[in-house]
Amino acid sequence: MYTGRRQQELEPALEGCRFRVNSERGVIRMTGSVRRDPQSDLAIAILARIDGVKAIHPNLSAVRCDRRAENI
């Protein structure tokens, strides 16, 4: 079985996204950037499917074509 990070890497819909994932005692903290807002939902859903995950704390930015970032 792949780790959550590897599952994210293998997901074609997350192409162009960058994530940093840390976990401790079932609590996942994820930072990074996505190109489209729905990608953050997908990234979170992938991590939520992992056995033992109790909580996910995302801090993701949506990077637009003009390279500005917005917190989502």
Domains recognised in the chain with CATH numbers: 4-71 (3.30.70)
| Exposed e or buried b per residue across 20-52, where buried means at least 16 C-beta atoms within 10 angstroms of its C-beta | ebebeeeebebebbbeeeebbebbeebbeebee
pLDDT tens for 32-62 read: 999 988 899 999 999 999 999 999 999 999 8
The model's pTM? 0.75
